[in-house]
Amino acid sequence: MSYHTRSLSSHMRAPSASSSSTGQSPALLARIEEKKAELESLRELRDLSAAVAGQMEALEKKLSTLSDGTEAKLAKPNPEAPVEEGQEVTGPLPQVLVRIPTEHAPALQAQAEAAEAAAEEESRLG
């Protein structure tokens, strides 16, 4: 995205003799300062928008990588292949790609270890 810039000299008027000798009116000076502040805000908005656009592009690349990586693991069915009764239509499930920890993981781990220890104890006694 590009922004067209114009030279300011074509838009600015030459100061008249009366305004340069007596100074500009306070209302005009206030308006100029207001426009300068507005211009600065617009420049800041442009820079922030460009940064957000860059972040969105990076996110899009990461998401396409995730999507492509997942699709590569899945078996794609062949629509022309005959399907017999009892035959699985899809191939085996893909391996677990990502493990997401939960807040209950330590409690579940302790419970699993306790169950495993109880099973070992039972097998020794039984």
- pLDDT: is 7 or 26 the higher one? 26
Q: What is the pLDDT of residue 18?
A: 47
Does 42 map to a domain?
A: yes
Q: What is the 3-state secondary structure (H, E, C) of 53-117?
A: HHHHHHHHHHHHHHHHHHHHHCCCCCCCCCCCCCCCCCCCCCCCCCCCCCCCHHHHHHHHHHHHH
pLDDT at 34 > cutoff 90: yes
Q: What is the pLDDT of residue 49?
A: 95
The pLDDT tens digits for 49-104 are 999 999 999 998 888 877 665 555 556 666 666 666 555 556 666 666 666 667 77
Element (H, E) at 5: none
- pLDDT: is 46 or 102 the higher one? 46
Does 106 map to a domain?
A: no
Half-sphere exposure of 57 (CA within 13 A, CB side): 6
Does 8 map to a domain?
A: no
Query: In terms of Cα–Cα distance, which of 126, 1, 110 is closest to 52?
Result: 1
Does 69 map to a domain?
A: yes
- pLDDT: is 92 or 38 the higher one? 38
Does 32 map to a domain?
A: yes
Query: Per the structure, how many domains does the chain have?
Result: 1
End-to-end CA distance of the chain: 76
Does 54 map to a domain?
A: yes
Which structural domain, as residue segments, surrounds residue 44?
27-75
pLDDT at 111 > cutoff 60: yes
Does 57 map to a domain?
A: yes
Does 94 map to a domain?
A: no
Mean pLDDT of the chain: 75
**From the centroid of its chain, how far is CA 75?**
29
Q: What is the mean pLDDT of residues 31-37?
A: 96
Q: What is the pLDDT of residue 4?
A: 53
